[in-house]
Structure 1
Amino acid sequence: MTDQDRNARSQLAFARLLPRLFRGGQAFVGVEAALSDLTDDQATTRPAGLPHSVAQLVAHINWWNRWMLDIIELGQALPYPAHAADTWPEVQAGDWSRVKNEFYELLGRIDPHAARPDLANPVNHEETIGELLADMALHTAHHFGQVVTVRQALGVWPPAGGGDTW
């Protein structure tokens, strides 16, 4: 097998894996299930002892996914936020539908990038397109674990569509 063949196989494997990393599946509960059946009140409630609501977590994911997608799609570095707090948008009661819809819109923007032939190209001095996509997937998965924890604390887990409860 040539290096070109190995690179093509790696590219295909990554293109197949990436959507599952964003959406869940075998390794963890899918994002659609994790966000399903939440009312605005449930999504915007921060349980006692936990730092964020589901809506705040998803708004934070949206902030970073939008930032990294803009880098990929513009092909240039963007200024890094000065403070972590800058990446946690304010979420109010009544915002859940907007925040959730934005999450799905951004997810739709990610899909076409998974199969790009230029994933090894750098976009911001140090990271490649593929590395940014992997960072986005891992960040999203990390916070979706927190979404499940918040839902458990609220007593609204598992959703009607099912979810791991062990």
Structure 2
Amino acid sequence: MHRDELLASPLAFMPPARLLDGLTAEDAARTIPGVQHSIVEILAHMVYWQAWFLNRCQGVAAPMAAHAAEGWPEVTAADWDPLRAQFLSGLQRAVELPEDGRVTPPIEFPPLAEYTFNDAITHIAQHNAHHLGQIVILRQVMNLWPPPEGSYTW
């Protein structure tokens, strides 16, 4: 599978850019009773981990978050547009990462210590798919689905 299909233009579900289209900053920051995070908070979390993995692939030895809360940056509606742009540019950065290579220095978390670039990309893709699904459900609950260009019909 090509990285573009895995990350930016998947065949199994709607491409992330299209999935995020049509959301205002206010809608993205809207909270739903009983739901822990807003769409903008979920996107900030995705940007955090996507950037962390990509930076590690480029040799930045940033430590892994010590606690899950560190991977959930505090954001507001004003952060929506910059986060969306950062997320999408990160996808492109991931697509363009060299095919071969190891994450160096190795990630300090034993299950990830032997990661190659392809392992990191797969991790990013799985993490993003999980949270993009949450965003779809939140959009549905808020009657903001489908996005302006429509959705798949099957």
Q: Which TM class, normalised by the smaller chain length?
A: 0.7 to 0.9
Equivalent residue for 1:71? 56
Larger radius of gyration: 1
TM-score by length of 1: 0.81
Give me the whole-angstrom Cα distance separating, in 2, the residues matched to 1:47 and 1:103. 23
Give ranges in structure 2 of 5+ residues lacking alignment: 107-112
Q: 2:127 aligns with which of 124, 131, 139?
A: 139
Q: 2:28 aligns with which of 10, 22, 43?
A: 43
Equivalent residue for 1:54? 39
Higher helix share: 1
Higher RCO structure, 1 or 2 (CA under 8 Å, sep 6+): 1
* 1:78 CA displacement: 3.2
Higher mean displacement: 97-106 or 56-65 = 97-106
Give me the whole-angstrom Cα distance separating, in 2, the residues matched to 1:37 and 1:156. 8
TM-score by length of 2: 0.87
Equivalent residue for 1:10? none
Letter in 2 for 1:126: E
- For 1:94, what is the secondary structure of its paired residue? helix
Q: 2:100 aligns with which of 111, 118, 121?
A: 118
> Contact conserved, 1:122 with 1:128, CA < 8 A, in 2?
yes
Give ranges in structure 1 of 5+ residues lacking alignment: 1-13
Give me the whole-angstrom Cα distance separating, in 1, the residues matched to 2:151 and 2:119. 29
* 1:24 CA displacement: 4.3
Classify 1:112/1:158 alpha carbon distance in 2 versus 1 (closer, same or farther; 3 Å).
same
Letter in 2 for 1:108: Q
> Contact conserved, 2:40 with 2:77, CA < 8 A, in 1?
no
Classify 1:165/1:156 alpha carbon distance in 2 versus 1 (closer, same or farther; 3 Å).
farther
- Residues 109-158 of structure 1, C-alpha deviation per residue, up to 9 Å, x if partnerless? 11211xx2424x35323211111111011111111001101111111001
Q: 1:98 aligns with which of 79, 82, 106?
A: 82
Letter in 2 for 1:153: V
* 1:54 CA displacement: 1.1
Aligned length: 147
Please give the residue correspondences for 1:1-12 in structure 2 after superposition, counting only pairs within 5 Å.
none
Give me the whole-angstrom Cα distance separating, in 2, the residues matched to 1:95 and 1:33. 19
Classify 1:111/1:25 alpha carbon distance in 2 versus 1 (closer, same or farther; 3 Å).
closer
- Residues 49-100 of structure 1, C-alpha deviation per residue, up to 9 Å, x if partnerless? 21111111111000001100111011x6531111100000111122211111
* 1:108 CA displacement: 2.1
